[in-house]
Amino acid sequence: MTEDTARLARTVYEAFNRNDLDAALALAQPDIEIVNLAENTTFRGHDGFRDYLKRIKEIDPAGWIEVISQLVCDAGVTNECVYHATHVGPLHGIEPTGKAFTAPLCDVWRVRDGKIASIHTYADNMTVLAQLGLLPQPAST
């Protein structure tokens, strides 16, 4: 069971990476819930999951997620990842900078009957803003 859960996560990330959102949706429960803690947003159902994935792809259609490690149990899988992208599209109302960035993130997935039931995502948005040059530089001492 746990090996299948790890494979499920990798399959969904691979579908995202090749812009096949339908393949990712097919592996989700109809009542899936996605909670993005860094942005205080929640998405529900297949339509919500599609909206969530599309928002990420709008930042950079060629952006991709690299799975660094996984911790798997019968209830789900925790995925430590890095999102690789270039800021060419909307990002929280910030005009595109054209700069490349890598965003560390952690996704905690719960799985039910072989499909994703929920995702709680924890992304390091401060690292992204710093890489894009959008944070003030610290004062020198």
- Per-residue model confidence (pLDDT) at position 24: 98
For a pLDDT cut of 70, what percent of the chain falls above it?
96
Mean pLDDT for the stretch of residues 66-79: 96
**pLDDT band at residue 14 under the 50/70/90 scheme:** very high
Render the burial of 102-126: b for 16+ CB within 10 Å, e for the rest. Answer: ebebbbbbbbeeeebbbbbbebbee
* pLDDT over 80 at 139, yes or no: no
* pLDDT over 90 at 113, yes or no: yes
74 vs 54, residue with greater confidence? 54
Going along the chain from its start, the domains and CATH numbers come out as: 2-131 (3.10.450.50)
pTM listed for this prediction = 0.92
